[in-house]
Amino acid sequence: MHRERSDVLLGELLPDADLSLRLFLRAEISKGLGHEVSASRAPGKVLDHRVDISVEELHGTLSGAARLVASWRIMGGDGAEELAAFRFARTRPLAQDGYPALADAEIALIGELAVAIANSLAEVGKDSPSASAN
């Protein structure tokens, strides 16, 4: 029997980051997976995976681009075993000078990060023993 979705907790989701960034990433990862992921654990809920995300850089460059460097770890639902680790480092040229163009480029990069995280969760989920039963 194949499971249609897995229960995922975004564990250490940018603990020091702005709330709007956390909410945006959560929404985009959920969209990429095709189901909601949780930012908090409900009592008694069994999880398939936990994701810890760290953003090391999110800024503009002197050459007129936005830069995002992040990493994430996918853990087993109990958080005891690391199943996979990933790194994301991209730059995106600004469409024009100014803060609005920087914000647009950063949002696009965060969206790309969310897609990469969702894809990695889907890939790890295919290899997970809980993804299918005999």
**58 burial via Cβ count (<10 Å: 0-12, 13-18, 19+):** middle
For the ranges 7-11, 70-74, 98-102, the lowest mean pLDDT is seen at: 7-11
CATH code for the part of the protein at 10-131: 3.30.160.150
Give me the pLDDT at residue 49, please. 84
Does 31 score more than 90 pLDDT? yes
- pTM for this predicted structure: 0.80
Per-residue pLDDT reduced to its tens digit, 95-106 = 999 999 999 999
Place of tokens 């907790």: 9
| Cα 37 from chain centre | 10
Does 51 score more than 80 pLDDT? yes
Question: Distance (Å, rounded) from C-alpha 108 to C-alpha 101?
Answer: 11
